[in-house]
Structures are given as structure tokens and as C-alpha cells.
Amino acid sequence: MEHNFLYMQSGGPTAVINASAYGALSCALNSKEIDHVYAGLYGIEGFMDGKVIEIKKEDRKELSYLLQTPGAAFGSCRKKLKDFRDDPSDYRKIDGMLDRYHISYIAYNGGNDSMDTVYQYGMYLKEEGIRDRFIVGIPKTVDNDLTETDHTPGYGSAAKYIASAFSEIVADSSSYEKGKVNIVELMGRDAGWLTLSSSLADLSGKGPDRIYLPEYPFDIHEFLKDVESVYREKHVAFFAVSEGIADQDGRPIGESGKKDAFGHPQLGGVSSYLASLVSEKGYKVRAIEFNVPQRCDLSCRSKTDVTEALICGEKAVQALLNHESGKMVALKRVSYDPYKIEYVLKDASLIGNKVRYIDPSYYDLKTKKATEAFFSYALPLIEGDVPLQKEHGLPRFFSLKNLSEYGK
């Protein structure tokens, strides 16, 4: 009987998610215990619709370009599985596809909601007494908000990009004797990890004057006082705000009223809204939204991030071959100086649909700035550069063969 492997990606991509894909797929291809290696296109949703590719059809040299390809190379989705005890229909469909391809080992690469999928399907396997099939999660998210892990692959590179871009904005906007009030909006629905990483620009003397995180109530009147105070002193001002900042009653400042597939509020527009308020006070103001480049920029990938993402993929396959299931590969920091981590397994039930907020010791609520403790935590994650292989002066990305032949 064949024992085959399936890799899938889900949720928002990162600059290193495909490094995890490369780690998992390479490890599976090199394993004598795995007969065939597959990838599901567009996550669990695409897999249920029969979108599957066999990796051995791809050139091994081409696969290596996954290490420097942003986005989800095999496609992503935002499919939320219902509790199988309430509605087993999706699980039956998934089982049908897994049976068709004789798949025993499943690696699911994603964030909070994806780890809920790992938990839900792992519980289903256990409850149904299916003992020859296993699922393990590979962590991924620029938001760095997964519980049970020191940090998440994707965060280090995003943090490095934010710190670099923020310092460049400060340098550019400080060119004039009297500059503008600059309000920079950064990703982070529930947790302010990305926004706080803008403080790393302090190392070049070009960090934000104030930082506002979703973990703490946002007071518009206090913000306007901060604008007045900073601008009076410097004649230019720089503020970093999370897209998820909310008022005392928990109402997001930038809420659009719309929700995503998981029921989360769709955010954005915080910087523009705040800029309009600042403009009414008579200041010249610029709203800047970093948006998608935070998660896809290649120029600021950190060597730490790429390396750890790759190893997480490998560790997931090793865990599956050891018949682990319903768990996620996590990073445990065992030393700060020198920086050292271990790879451990954590139950996905402790991770799915949960949020890891900023450690209170990392943020000074009075100064609205990062503390030295945060710098000690974050600096190792942005260390090292990764050279890009290029063609015609541009990065060379991974590409699949003719997709029309797949899923048949």
C-alpha cells in the first residue's frame, strides 16, 4: 500500500512561506517512507475540489526557487472547517480525495485559522478511529500572533522591511526645515507585533515618535495632543499605528463594517482617517499605508527567517513520519545571547483561533515606545541577508508547469 504526502498552504502569505514549502517538499521527496509527494492548490478548499499536483513532475532546480518566491506558490484559501460533529460533509469530501491519492501524511502551512483546521481534522481522525493518517501544522504569519511559539516564520522579514522602510521615510521627510505629520499604518488586526517593529528604526536614529498598538485603547484626543507636542518640538512628526487600533469600547478606528471569510472585521484606512483629523487642526499631513509589501518584500528577508521557515517544513515531515498528529511545529527560544532556538511540537488546540498579544514588558505605555526587552527579543529575528538569484535584473521566482494537466 502506498503512503503518500500532501502539502497545502492557507491564509495570508509571507516572504518565507515558500521556504517552508521547500523544506517540507524536499524532505518528503528524499524520504524512503513516502511514495508520492503532492501539493494541494489553493489550500484545503482547492484540494476538496480536486486541485492537486504531483511534485515529482516539477524540476528539482525549479523547486529551489521556492526559497526566494513571495506569495503562496501553491495558492491559498480562507476556508473554515465546521465542527465535524455538526457538519461532517467537508470531512467526507476531504477523505475522499485523500483516499483517491493514498495520502497518509498532511502538512498544513498557515496561521491561527489554519491551525484550527489542523486541530479540527486531527480531532476528526481521532474520533473516527482513522489510525493511518496524520496531520501536522507548519507555522506562518507576518503578524507573529500564534500562541505556543516564541515567534512565527514570516515575522522577522516583515519586521526588517518595516524598520528599513520606516527609517527611509523619516530620512526623506526630514529633508525640509518644516516637514509634515506622517502617519504610517501597519498590519496587525489584534496584536501589534508589526507596528512595534517600526521601533527597530531607532537603531539608525530614524524611528517613530509614538507607536499605537491594538492591545491598548486608542484615545483620539490624546493622539492629537501627541501630534501637537511632537510637532512643536521637531517641526516634523512620525507616528506608527496598527490597523487594528480601537477605542475604549473596542470599536476599531478603521473598521469598514465588512468582514472576511472567518468573520474578522476588514480593516484599513486608519492612517487616512487620522490624517483627516490632523489636517483639520491646520497641520500638513501625510497618510502612509505599508500594505502588501510588508508580507511580500524580498529585499529585506532575514537569513534567520528563511532558515527557520525551511527547517519548520522539514520538522513537520519528520513529525508526520513519527505518526504525530493534530500538532504544530513551534519555535522555543532557549537562549537570547547567543540566540538559539529549539523546534518542538505543540497541540494545535492551544493555537487555533487564539491570539498572542504583545508582551507588556515590550512596550512603554507612557512614552508609547518599545523597550529594551523588545529589542533583545526582535533583533536576532532580522539578522542576516539572503542574496537573490536574478534574471534580467529581477528576482527569479518559482513557477509551476502547465496547470491544465493537474487534478485529473
Please give the positions annotated as active site: 143
Helix (H, G, I), strand (E, B) or coil at 291: coil
Cα separation of 6 and 107, whole Å? Answer: 6
SS3 134: strand
Strands (E), 290-368: 327-336, 339-347, 363-364
CA–CA gap between residue 183 and residue 274 (Å, rounded): 8
**What 3 state SS string does 202-220 have?**
HHHCCCCCEEECCCCCCCH
**What is the C-alpha R_g of the chain?**
22
Separation CA 56–CA 64 (nearest Å): 13
What does the block give as the cell for 46? 482547492
Q: For strand 37-40 and strand 52-54, is the pairing parallel, antiparallel, or unpaired?
A: antiparallel
d(CA 221, CA 214): 17
- Phi and psi at residue 4, to the nearest 5°: -110, 165
Query: Is residue 144 classed as helix, strand or coil in its secondary structure?
Result: coil
- DSSP symbols for 74-101: T------PPPTTT--HHHHHHHHHHHHT
Length of the chain: 408
